[in-house]
Amino acid sequence: MDSYVVLLTGLVALLFGLAIGKAWERYKLRDGQWIDRRRARESPHYMLGLNFLVTNQTEPAIDELTRAAAAAGDPLEIHLILGNLYREKGQVGRAIQEHQKLLQRPDLRKLEHANVLLCLGLDYKRGGFVDRALEAFTEVLRLDPDNQYALANLEKLYEEQHQWREAYATRQKLAKRDPDNTQARHNEILAFLENELGLAALKRMDYPEAARRFEAAIELDTQNAPAYLNLGDVRFYEGDGAGAITVWERLIEKSPERAYLAFSRLEGAYPKAGRLDGFPTLCRHLIATTPQDWRARLALARYLSQHDGAKEALELLFEALVQNPHALVLHQAIWQTLSQLQLPQPLVDRYVDVTRDSIFYLDPHICIRCRYRSTELLWQCPQCHEWNTFIEERIAPVAESLKSEV
């Protein structure tokens, strides 16, 4: 909720800055109209309104700004802000009314027109009027083709409608207009959109097109995990087991922390390709190279307990539990293995020791943008709709003593 407020404040601040800039520019251009500008800014209501805005007190901010607007001859920028405040309060109809009224002003300049339309687009979007929002943002871009804010909103709307092609084209425009060196981030998002296009092709069982899309996604961002998984699936469906394995192994090579996503696929595919010890070998390699990888230990433990290796499996599970004591799957696997071994007392005691000081919590995946929490890894955040923002919150290993015991 806090992050939402921060986001909101940022948005308001942005539009505020925009409006102030426009006001300054406008009155400077029109010689002799200094006083108008001062009238708005000298008004105590204006300053009070600003102060309320800063402290997120929307209601009194609206009151003061309404008075300031009346005192200063209804300047456009204050009404723009008022509309935005109504929207953020949830009074979308009121916001739309406020912004639509501004569109009817006879002396609107092109950029002012674009700014009003942008706010109106946000109103429509908030109210769920998707078509009208699309129309408004498109119109903003006709008036102001470089408006990145309109492009970003347009992209999100297309994504919500699963219009991946349009979303892709919009993100490309954004990338082209981005003056900073953030192309990597644009490519990361384009890769996710390519992946969605691939999934749509997969649904139609158009394997060649799907494969092309997934390959393009990987080309854009070599870390795009779902594209590897899906490309491997396509190869597998096409009967190319070895090809599928190669793709999934490439995922692990590029993003070892995401290796577990390919575990069940690889465990099934290796034996079919004649590589009987392919899976345990892979797990051992991962454990050796990334010591905190609890999932590789769990996967290997499960494999071993099915292949007469329950004792070694249990050791692996204890190690994994030190890395991630909150993982319920580990506790379940430990109890299964313990009972497979007929509950030897010293091992049960070790389990109690390891868990005693552990901190348990839920929803380990967290969006680094809006702090949304999820039990599973998500590629797009359901709250802020950003791509690839989830990290796994991990607590520090608890029992250093266990390591020395092992």
Q: Which residues bind Zn ion (CB under 5 A)?
A: 367, 369-370, 372, 381, 383-384
Nearest approach in angstroms of CB 129 to Zn ion is: 24
In the complex with Zn ion, which residue's Cβ is closer, 341 or 378? 378
Of 258, 255, 263, nearest in space to 223 by CA: 255
In the complex with Zn ion, which residue's Cβ is closer, 250 or 371? 371
CB contact set of 365 (below 8 Å; sequence gap of 6+): 373, 374, 375, 376, 377, 378, 390, 391, 392, 393
First to last CA, the chain: 44
In terms of Cβ atoms closer than 10 Å to its own Cβ (0-12, 13-18, 19+), residue 345 is exposed
Nearest approach in angstroms of CB 1 to Zn ion is: 13
Residue 171 is encoded by which pair of tokens?
């993100």
In the complex with Zn ion, which residue's Cβ is closer, 168 or 387? 387
Nearest approach in angstroms of CB 156 to Zn ion is: 12
Q: Which residue has the tokens 């674009």?
A: 114
Nearest approach in angstroms of CB 283 to Zn ion is: 32
Nearest approach in angstroms of CB 198 to Zn ion is: 24
- Asked if 169 and 201 touch (Cβ cutoff 8 Å), the reply is no
- Asked if 403 and 394 touch (Cβ cutoff 8 Å), the reply is no
| Residue 100 exposure: Cα atoms within 13 Å on the Cβ side | 9
In the complex with Zn ion, which residue's Cβ is closer, 58 or 383? 383
Nearest approach in angstroms of CB 378 to Zn ion is: 9
CA 320 – CA 399 distance, rounded (Å): 11
| Residue 230 exposure: Cα atoms within 13 Å on the Cβ side | 30
In the complex with Zn ion, which residue's Cβ is closer, 159 or 319? 159
CA 323 – CA 337 distance, rounded (Å): 19
In the complex with Zn ion, which residue's Cβ is closer, 331 or 371? 371
Nearest approach in angstroms of CB 8 to Zn ion is: 14
Of 316, 198, 284, nearest in space to 247 by CA: 198
| Residue 337 exposure: Cα atoms within 13 Å on the Cβ side | 29
Nearest approach in angstroms of CB 216 to Zn ion is: 26
Nearest approach in angstroms of CB 365 to Zn ion is: 11
Residue 57 is encoded by which pair of tokens?
């007190």
Which strand (E) or helix (H) includes residue 366?
strand 365-367
Which residues face 391 on adjacent strands?
A: 366
| Residue 51 exposure: Cα atoms within 13 Å on the Cβ side | 8
In the complex with Zn ion, which residue's Cβ is closer, 214 or 372? 372
In the complex with Zn ion, which residue's Cβ is closer, 8 or 384? 384
Q: Which long-range contacts (CB under 8 A, 24 or more apart) does 61-68 make?
A: 61/85, 62/86, 62/89, 67/43, 68/40, 68/43
DSSP 156-168: HHHHHTT-HHHHH
Nearest approach in angstroms of CB 10 to Zn ion is: 14
In the complex with Zn ion, which residue's Cβ is closer, 294 or 372? 372
In the complex with Zn ion, which residue's Cβ is closer, 147 or 388? 388
